[in-house]
Structure 1
Amino acid sequence: SCVIAEDDDDGGTEEVKSFQEQEMEKQKLLYEQNRLANRGAAETVLLYISASKGENNEMVRRTLQLGISLLHGGNREVQKRMLNYLKETKDVGCFTSLATLMANCGVLDLDTHERCIKAEVLGVGSEGMAGEKNLHDADFIISLFRFCQLLCEGHNLEFQNYLRLQAGSSTNVNIIICTVDYLLRLQVINKANQEENTSF
């Protein structure tokens, strides 16, 4: 196998993985994801999200991270397993919880978030509690939307449609509309911040 060495920022060399090594890592990841899913991890993620009733807590944050790990790379088997579970149980609790979490997410102040990141990198501390809360919210919001994205990663049209309409359920929650609502709130807040900054 061909290995190429590149200089990194520390002046050392970093090995670039060959195609075969990358493929082996991908296969290992798929194996581990599927092994966990076969042991019920995929369903457990959905159950915990549903049981949270939209309350943002440490368990939900960890559950989203597990879901992201299971779905990373657009794992079709895990997507299929989750979709089948949701269709069979007709449980909309997962969707109502996701919608509530999105609705209750603080809208990120991108200026504050960027300043906090820079301050953290420079080691000068963040801007007090508001800055820390913004960073904490940012991590949660990113995880929440990343999980939703990975549910239908790889142009999984069947899951995309199910996120819009849960056929056969007594209640429907359109996660796509909830996402758009959040993005519109974000746009309004950030536009107001830009106008405020240009008025000085």
Structure 2
Amino acid sequence: MEAFAAGTETTQTALEWTMSELIRNPRVMKKLQQEVTEIAQGRSMISEEDLEKMAYLKAVLKESLRLHAPFPLLLPRKSMQDVKLMGYDISAGTQVIINAWAIGRDPAFWEEPNEFRPERFLNNSITYQGLHSEWIPFGAGRRLCPGIQFSVPVIELALANIVYKFDMVLPNGLRNEDLDMTEAFGITIHRKSSLIVLVSPRF
């Protein structure tokens, strides 16, 4: 039950945040729609086999996870030995909680850290495996999320098909840049208000 709940909750949250960022950033949405349309070649749906060809789709998801890590505070760790870190003394046995949300927005690692720019993930070696300390939405080391291989393709496939099939606008004449991106804090970070859009078929 825990695995099912953790997998569905975080997947849904990540998809909603990614859609929100795409709606707020029409340039990125258009570029992603161009990529999926070219790869689909007129077929009715994007298939899982197509995902490997979609570099921009992968960059969009990574950038969304940088800004909106589903678990903002990773599972607790325990210091195995005395260590000095950034001027702080951490004794062996101390419980440590890693703030993935803050790491993903740290200006020491990211230029314009609050801007949604998927291009920063193109042509670089950052992966989901927790090997880069500046980007760990799924954790790192022995506590790395075991569901990466399931959740990432599910999100990518859903996202690719949504943007391939539909154009989306905000209701009541609301401008894209005015979309409320307020976060509701909890074990997972949700949008404070639900994402509501008007959809129309692209084809």
TM-score computed with the length of structure 2 as normaliser: 0.23
User: Normalized per residue, which structure has more helix?
Assistant: 1
Identify which of structures 1 and 2 has the higher relative contact order when contacts are C-alpha pairs closer than 8 Å and 6+ apart. Answer: 2
User: Normalized per residue, which structure has more strand?
Assistant: 2
TM-score computed with the length of structure 1 as normaliser: 0.23
